[in-house]
């Protein structure tokens, strides 16, 4: 009886351990895939987030702070799992240009998953990854990439 219990415990442990590895692998694979979409840009940082189902008038997502330098061109890339391409948005904004009313740029404005940003003023900026309004009907993950393109001429 004792051996049977140990065998069942070990078998269930292996099953659950394999499932958690698959989720971690998925994230790393998505980061790598997303980072390689930058083409001739140099990878600087990634933004990983898990998006939960949203209730009406609630938000799901994450916000990060980044410091950008004047005179530099940056590339922002958003990657989502298949089927979520039109449901998630990456937004860049600062304190003078709020996320909701007047963001500096977003994947919505860019009409795609990639946009370049020419930084005119050094300082703190904010990057958010969220569901688009009324699109948060299921949960998913998303990855944003910040890359260095070059100096502005």
Indicate whether 10 pLDDT > 60: no
**Ordered DSSP codes for 91-125:** EEE-SSS-TTT--SEEHHHHTSSEEEEEE-S-EEE
- 3-class SS at 87? coil
* Burial state string for 1-10 with b = 16 or more CB within 10 A and e = fewer than 16: eeeeeeeeee
**Ordered DSSP codes for 9-33:** HHHHHHHHHHHHHHHHHHHHHHHHH
Q: Which one-letter DSSP state was computed for residue 132?
A: P
Q: Give dist(CA 45, CA 40) in Å, integer.
A: 15
- 3-class SS at 59? coil
Q: What pLDDT, on a 0 to 100 scale, did the predictor assign at position 24?
A: 44
Topology of 31-151 in CATH? Jelly Rolls (2.60.120)
Query: How many Cβ atoms are within 10 Å of 21's Cβ, its own excluded?
Result: 10
Query: How many Cβ atoms are within 10 Å of 47's Cβ, its own excluded?
Result: 21
Q: What pLDDT, on a 0 to 100 scale, did the predictor assign at position 38?
A: 73
Q: Give dist(CA 4, CA 24) in Å, integer.
A: 31
86-134 pLDDT, tens digit per residue, is: 888 999 999 898 888 889 999 888 888 999 999 999 999 999 998 887 7
Q: Give dist(CA 147, CA 43) in Å, integer.
A: 4
71-87 pLDDT, tens digit per residue, is: 999 999 998 888 887 88
Confidence at 28, pLDDT banded by 50, 70, 90: confident
């Amino acid at each position: 009886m004792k051996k049977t219990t140990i065998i069942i415990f070990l078998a269930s442990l292996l099953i659950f351990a394999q499932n958690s590895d698959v989720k971690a692998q998925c994230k790393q694979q998505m980061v790598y895939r997303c980072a390689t979409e930058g083409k001739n840009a140099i990878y600087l940082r990634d933004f990983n987030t898990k998006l939960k189902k949203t209730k009406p008038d609630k938000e799901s997502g994450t916000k990060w702070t980044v410091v950008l330098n004047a005179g530099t061109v940056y590339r922002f890339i958003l990657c989502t799992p298949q089927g979520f391409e039109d449901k998630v948005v990456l937004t860049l904004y600062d304190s003078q240009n709020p996320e909701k009313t007047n963001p500096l740029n977003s994947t919505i404005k860019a009409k795609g998953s990639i946009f370049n940003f020419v930084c005119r003023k050094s300082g703190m900026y904010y990057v958010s990854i969220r569901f688009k309004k009324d699109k948060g009907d299921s949960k998913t993950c998303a990855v944003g990439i910040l890359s260095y393109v070059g100096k502005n001429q």
